[in-house]
Amino acid sequence: MKKRLSVLLTAALLLAALTACGSNTSGSASDISQGSEENVQKSEPAEDDEENYDTGDASLDDPRNADEIGENELLVVSFGTSYNDSRRLTIGAIEKAMEDAFPQWSIRRGFTSQIIIDHVMRRDGIAIDNVGEALDRAVENGVKNLVIQPTHLMDGFEYNDLAEEAAQYADAFEAIVIGEPLLTSDEDFAAVAEAVVEATAEYDDGSTAIVLMGHGTEAESNGVYAKMQQVLTDAGNTNYFVGTVEAEPSLDDVLAAVKAGEYTRAVLRPLMVVAGDHANNDMAGDDEESWKSAFEGAGYDVVCLVNGLGELEAVQQLFVQHAQAAVDSLGQVSSETASGSREAGGKDLQVQESGQADAADEAVSQAGTSGKSGKPIYGDSLKDGTYEIAADSSSSMFNIEACTLTVKNGQMTADMTMGGTGYLYVYMGTGEEAAAAGEDSYIPFAEDEKGTHTFTVPVEALNSEIACAAFSKNKETWYDRTLVFRADSLPADAFADGVFTTAESLGLEDGNYTVEVSLSGGSGRASVESPAQMTVEGGAAMVTIVWSSSSYESMKVDGVQYEPVSTEENSVFVIPVSAFDSPIPVQAVTVAMSRPHEIEYTLYFDSSAIQAQS
């Protein structure tokens, strides 16, 4: 396993190592986390060990989490870094550029890495909000217009996770929009390429290969690296080479490309917004697996520039431009129609594209679907068979693309088809337990002819959090994951009779009733009218949901989309009650913002509060 330079070196040794590598130490920093400090992707956290070197004065950096900030907030979201100087010179500089460009907006900060947030708090006593805390703070402060500008490099897993989390607050503000990541348009690529070339121009002497190290991802967005290489080459910068730590082009690919030329020196610089752990260790570290060691071993003189893209003014201003496009799009909120224009700048947090139910009788036929209950579902509550099932993972790096549940004699197993090949084993338990267990308890992957990896794991219960440790091939260590296999994705006929309380099991006769209903989820600001009107026919119950807003354009229950029967004063829907006395997840699309946003809610119908109507 790699030795982490951030753990083993004293301040003097770190400085010596960087100097020997030709490092520009202004703003160079190793991150306490092994995560994607450049905000490209979520990566695996390293152990939170004692630091033996100075990271800078935390008091010089503004955490930007004050209250009473007014109605307009611009939230800058970054992965984060525990290195105070690096945080100030990159993330802090981007935030300051936003403050200068938007004097009428309060600039606030949010980090996505809880490990970094906790470490900075423990070490320096500095509180930095995570995304959820920052959004809650905005709600509590009475913010009306919220712009979220991430400092991500690309539209990858982490950017989409941010958009998904922000979408759950779409009912909390009068207007909310998220800006685009750094590399979005052709103009963005050209601007970043030009900025990097300008920053390294003194080294481009014809005999020097300038190597840009990105993070890499298993997502399709990894193509940004190949595109950046093409943009550089097309502009005549033929001495520049782009590679990644975690994907392709790999270190071997880049080294082979450099060897094909007649270079005697290599300059290494991160293609990352923040120069943290990857830059200091994977790139500039003395470990034998580092890029520096690889190039030195190939006979090149090596210079390491440990500076993040966020230090470049051109990059700061590019983020400002993206935030400006998001701010400009807010002007369209008041004129948006329920159809939801998608022409405005900024990220569409979640656009509802599903088809709608054809008729009320189809809706009634779906009313018996009981899978939306949030209570634990065990194998003896399901019929034997094989079913496609949705599986949620606590980490976007542990990406489950498809999952099949097999039920036999009350026992359940799940075949998880992964979106990548980065894990060698899984273990049903914690990483600590896995490390102490024998190898015979590890679950290996099965590989098909396409190279896809599938893990087959036991499932104790659906709708329950299950601890699962995953062994990283690249990092050679165990990482904790939490899995939830969702009963709401199973068909109605997968469940044994009597599992849920239904209108039929309650013996409700055909007729009209009222029922107490409660709503949870979203930002907590939305509500529904209770008691609600309910009609029972043929053992199936349909309920009228009256929202506190007129901005909901559709609801989805058990995979079926329903249109409102009225939106004059409030959005009104007639939907099936699949189960009483159990939480029923539903999705509702609001158009209160610049675009339609799908929000997850939970409805709960109380069978003890059903009243017959004359």
Same domain, 524 and 480: no
pLDDT band at 592 (very low <50, low <70, confident <90, very high): low
Is the pLDDT assigned to residue 198 strictly greater than 80? Answer: yes
**Across residues 549-553, what is the average pLDDT?**
85
- 3-class DSSP state for residue 543? strand
Strands (E), 315-394: 385-388, 390-393
- 294 pLDDT more than 70: yes
Structure-model confidence comparison of residues 7 and 422, the more confident one: 422
Mean pLDDT, range 460-466, rounded to an integer: 94
**578: pLDDT confidence band, cut at 50, 70 and 90?**
confident
The answer on pLDDT for 317 being more than 50 is yes
Q: What is the DSSP letter of 462?
A: B
> Could you tell me if 303 and 318 lie in one domain?
no
Q: Is residue 354 part of a domain?
A: no
How many CA within 13 A on the CB side of residue 312?
A: 26
**Residue ranges in 377-503 assigned as alpha helix (H):** 431-436
What crossing angle do the helices spanning 313-329 and 186-199 adopt, rounded to 10°?
Answer: 160
Q: Is residue 352 in some structural domain?
A: no
Contact 39, 150 (CB under 8 A): yes
Boundary-marking domain end, from 459, 494, 529: 494
Q: How many domains are contained in the chain?
A: 4
Instruction: Tell me what the mean pLDDT of segment 523-538 comes to.
Output: 92
- For residues 201 and 146, membership in a common domain is answered with no
Q: Are residues 167 and 91 in the same domain?
A: yes
pLDDT (tens digit, 9 = 90+) per residue, 423-450? 999 999 999 999 999 899 999 999 999 8
- Residues of the chain with pLDDT > 90, as a percent, come to 56
Please give the single-letter amino acid code of residue 611.
Answer: Q
Whether residue 532 sits in one domain with residue 570:
yes
355: in domain: no
Among 321, 339, 396, CA closest to 164? 396
Residue after which a domain boundary falls, among 272, 293, 308: 308
Alpha-helical regions (H) of 42-90: 84-89
pLDDT of residue 595: 64
DSSP conformation letters of 294-332: HHHHTT-EEEE----GGGSHHHHHHHHHHHHHHHHHGGG
pLDDT at 160: 83
- The CA–CA distances, whole Å, from 158 to 41, 78, 216, 473, 521 equal 5, 10, 12, 21, 22
Query: Catalytic: which of 215, 278, 453, 597?
Result: 215
Measured in degrees and rounded to the nearest 5, phi and psi for residue 492 equal -60, -35
The confidence score (pLDDT) of residue 85 equals 84
Same domain, 483 and 565: no
Reported as type and span, the H/E element at residue 227 is: helix 223-234
**204 plus 258 within the same structural domain:** yes
Residue 339's pLDDT is: 29
Task: Single out the residue in 469, 494, 519 at which a domain terminates.
Answer: 494
Average pLDDT over residues 360-376: 40
**Is the predicted pLDDT of residue 533 greater than 70, yes or no?**
yes
User: What is the band of 373 on the pLDDT scale with cuts at 50, 70, 90?
Assistant: very low
Residues 28 and 107 occupy one common structural domain: yes
pLDDT at 7: 32
Q: What is the mean pLDDT of residues 378-387?
A: 94
Q: Radius of gyration (Cα) for the chain, nearest Å?
A: 27
CATH number (domain holding residue 386): 2.60.40.1850
Residue 350 falls inside a structural domain: no
| Active-site residue, 215 included | yes
Residues 306/275, Cβ–Cβ less than 8 Å: yes
Structural tokens at position 595: 């675009």
Mean pLDDT of 295-324: 96
pLDDT band at 594 (very low <50, low <70, confident <90, very high): low
The parent domain of residue 514 ranges over 360-364+500-612
| Residue 340 counted as domain residue | no
pLDDT band at 547 (very low <50, low <70, confident <90, very high): very high
Asked, for residue 602, whether it belongs to a domain, the answer is yes
One domain, residues 146 and 264: no
In a domain, 374, yes or no: no
Q: Is residue 548 part of a domain?
A: yes
Look at residue 30 in the predicted model and tell me its pLDDT: 33
Average predicted confidence (pLDDT) for the chain: 83
Question: Mean pLDDT throughout 342-351?
Answer: 37
On the question of pLDDT at 454 being above 60, the answer is yes
Residues 174 and 209 in one domain: no
Q: Which of 11-20, 227-236, 586-595 has the lowest mean pLDDT?
A: 11-20
What residues pair up with 25 in beta bridges, in sequence order? none
Burial of 515-539, coded b for 16+ CB within 10 Å and e otherwise, reads: bebebebbbeebebebbbbbbbeeb
For 67-111, write each residue's pLDDT tens digit: 888 899 999 999 988 888 888 999 999 999 999 999 999 999 999
CATH no. for residue 286?
3.40.50.1400
- Examine the pLDDT at 233 and tell me if it is beyond 60: yes
Structure confidence at residue 18 (pLDDT):
35
Instruction: Judge if pTM exceeds 0.75.
Output: no
552 and 607 assigned to the same domain: yes
According to the model, what pLDDT value does residue 331 have?
Answer: 61
Does residue 271 share a domain with residue 146?
Answer: no
